[in-house]
């Protein structure tokens, strides 16, 4: 299993999926309103996420 974090329709979403399966973005759980999600890998175990949040 893996955790995918992604932006979809103005929200940061999360979805646990099998490594071999395709997924539908609509299946993700909304975490918070967000836009312009960007990610930078700092090392093999650490990622830095940037995004704009709206209330």
Chain segment 13-50, per-residue pLDDT in tens: 999 988 767 778 898 999 999 988 899 999 999 999 88
Contact indicator for 18, 35 with CB cutoff of 8 Å: no
- Predicted TM-score (pTM) above 0.75: no
Other Cβ atoms closer than 10 A to 35: 13
**Alpha helix stretches (DSSP H) within the chain:** none
Six-digit token string for 1: 């299993």
Distance CA 2, CA 9 (A): 22
Q: Determine the pLDDT at residue 24.
A: 86
Closest CA to 5 of 26, 27, 28, 21: 28
């Amino acid at each position: 299993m893996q955790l995918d974090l992604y932006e979809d329709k103005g929200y940061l979403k999360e979805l646990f999926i099998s490594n071999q399966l395709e997924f539908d973005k609509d299946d993700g759980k909304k975490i918070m309103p967000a836009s312009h999600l960007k990610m930078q890998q700092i090392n093999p175990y650490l990622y830095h996420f940037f995004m704009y949040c709206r209330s």
